[in-house]
Structure 1
């Protein structure tokens, strides 16, 4: 049975639109807040284009991106080995680890419709077997570096406005300013994952794959509703 692409891709489309809407909203609200500060300091207001191409906007965006990708990177990698009894976010306790080639449909165990690199063997299969974590890790590192560079640029501009020495990028990486911005995002991401893992043991959302079936026992692990 053929389905409408809007139906089969509804989740990615919905979150893509939500992402764009929130990013645009952040840009306009950030510009308004920035210009309020400019007026308070008797400085000239800037345009929308100037704001969205500024280090101030870039650091606010990238510091959230890096924390989100760090969250998913750690969750993807840690759930290979760590489990949580009763949580649908965990795999079965007996399946801890990388699992066998047969379980993972690798090499001679691959199905006809399996990705080509799952059947290839060697380096290709090894890379493909860890491709999700590698890509998430790469995006995290790049966005973290982008945050550090744009954050330093914004910090340096503030320091120079106040006739103070901005220091170097390396000094900024060890500063309280940088780690305060970074850790306040990390702790919120870790709390969100912790809450999801634990609450999904005891609470339900009917029809959601992130929840167990409503009638599933609390101790049942790796079951989706």
Structure 2
């Protein structure tokens, strides 16, 4: 959390300076820092990254339920049932949705992936909004007409920003799944034991 706070502050300060430099080059008036934090430039840059991270984690959580990779530390066993697959049982120490059963249990049983996908959708919408506002701010600086949200969606800018982030998240998932077959990190829960055979699946 400390690393997140440090880096988001660093992003805000450097983004503010960069954005003001762009505004100055176009002959516009520089923004105060507090106004920059409300600008499309900051909102777009921030949630452009957030949405790809939430998509990555949501996909990772969901796909590892049913898919397997032989030899990977990130995969469940190929032929044995694991604790995460057992049916939930009510009890005094069980979370309340488990004891309630029915719809509450169904939602709770999928709450991790649902949460990530809700966070993804919220971040995607905020990224779109920020990117659109930033685009129109730049259009005004250049004395060009602004675009409606629908018009902006047909332009490549937003989709370029989106796909450049998505592809990096997908390759990172592929990397951890396949590299953990042959490589080790002693003490890490993301690695198999150092002396484990390459084709041993799971931790």
TM-score range, shorter chain: over 0.9
| Partner in structure 2 of residue 119 of structure 1 | 99
| Partner in structure 1 of residue 46 of structure 2 | 61
From 116, 139, 161, the counterpart of 2:119: 139
1:72 and 1:95 map into 2 onto residues whose CA distance is: 24
Q: Describe how 1:43-122 pairs up with structure 2 within 5 A.
A: 43-94=28-79, 103-104=86-87, 106-107=88-89, 110=90, 112-122=92-102
2:164 and 2:146 map into 1 onto residues whose CA distance is: 23
2:154 and 2:59 map into 1 onto residues whose CA distance is: 23
| Partner in structure 1 of residue 24 of structure 2 | 39
| Partner in structure 2 of residue 200 of structure 1 | 180
Does the 8 Å CA contact 2:23/2:141 hold for their aligned counterparts? no
| Partner in structure 1 of residue 5 of structure 2 | 20
Residue aligned with 1:94, SS: coil
The structural deviation recorded for 1:95 is: 5.4
Q: Describe how 1:210-225 pairs up with structure 2 within 5 A.
A: 210-223=190-203
The structural deviation recorded for 1:60 is: 0.3
Residue 163 of structure 2 corresponds to residue 209 of structure 1: no
2:101 and 2:150 map into 1 onto residues whose CA distance is: 42
2:51 and 2:190 map into 1 onto residues whose CA distance is: 23
Gaps of 5+ in 1: 1-15
The structural deviation recorded for 1:119 is: 2.9
The structural deviation recorded for 1:160 is: 2.3
From 145, 153, 163, the counterpart of 1:183: 163
> What TM-score, normalized by structure 2, do the two folds share?
0.93
2:75 and 2:131 map into 1 onto residues whose CA distance is: 36
The structural deviation recorded for 1:173 is: 2.0
Residue aligned with 1:187, SS: helix
> What TM-score, normalized by structure 1, do the two folds share?
0.84
Given the superposition, is the C-alpha separation of residues 208 and 111 from structure 1 closer, same or farther in structure 2, using an over 3 Å criterion?
farther
Q: Which fold has the larger relative contact order, with Cα–Cα distance below 8 Å and residues 6 or more apart in sequence? A: 2
From 106, 128, 142, the counterpart of 1:148: 128
Residue 145 of structure 2 corresponds to residue 165 of structure 1: yes
Deviation >6 Å, runs of 4+: none
Does the 8 Å CA contact 1:83/1:93 hold for their aligned counterparts? yes
